[in-house]
Amino acid sequence: MYGKEIKKVLITKDQIAKRVQELGEEISRDYNGEPITLVCTLRGATLFFADLVRAIEGDVEIDFIACSSYGAGTTSSGEVKMLKDLSSPIEGKNVIVVEDIIDTGTTLFYLKKLLETRKPKSLKVCSFLDKPSRRKVEFKGDYIGFEIENEYVVGYGLDYNQKMRNLPEVCVLSPEVYAED
Ligand code: IMP
Ligand code: MG
């Protein structure tokens, strides 16, 4: 079904739908009717975000943020640059940052530190995927869809060179396609 650039399907459409529903129910239960501001990190989390928002019951606002991580591989500082800030203040709000994947941990470590300075009432992180074996900065998400091995994945919003975000399943990229950094 896919070309040779895809090694295999890792997570099917059904598995994604089921897990996103579970995460939505868990979040709805935890916040128990309190208002939540869900922050989508562009661009990778968009598809997950759209599904997750609809799986949460209650009082929800949405906002968007874009950061670029200078990948811990390219600079030692691993610093994160803000490309697009939130549209609304988050002071006093229950914020959940929704991310596609926690890899080295760099992006979320810095993003969380930055958002904390704005004094939200609470700040949590929900990531669709987690690759704990790749961590360079200690970071733990509060809600995780799936924990995966150290393989480069694409689809359901995740890209390789901005391509393949539209695949409806999470697929492992063939190692021949990319050079590990
Ligand atoms: P970090 O290393 O935890 O800062 O992750 C930064 C970003 O790298 C993630 O938000 C993704 O956009 C991207 N990324 C990491 N691993 C993968 C992958 O396997 N597929 C696609 N994107 C990835
Ligand atoms: Mg990302």
Distance 100 CA to ligand 2 centre (A): 6
Which tens digits make up the pLDDT trace of 143-159? 999 999 999 999 999 99
Q: What is the DSSP string of 124-145?
A: EEEEEEE-GGG-SS----SEEE
Name, in order, each residue with C-beta under 8 angstroms of 166's C-beta and a sequence gap of 6 or more.
155
Distance 119 CA to ligand 1 centre (A): 27
Which tens digits make up the pLDDT trace of 89-142? 999 999 999 999 999 999 999 999 999 999 999 999 999 999 999 999 999 999
Collect residues with CB below 5 Å from ion ligand 2. Answer: 44, 100
- Say how many CA atoms lie within 13 Å of 106 toward its Cβ: 18
DSSP state of 111: H
The residue type found at 10 is L
Annotation marks residue 100 as catalytic: no
CB distance 158 to ligand 1 below 6 Å: yes
* DSSP H helices in 4-127: 13-31, 46-55, 71-74, 106-116
Distance 107 CA to ligand 1 centre (A): 9
pLDDT score of 70: 60
CB distance 44 to ligand 1 below 6 Å: yes
Phi and psi (nearest 5°) for 30?
A: -60, -40
Question: Looking at the DSSP assignment, which residues form a beta bridge with residue 8?
Answer: 172
Strand (E) or helix (H) holding 95? strand 94-102
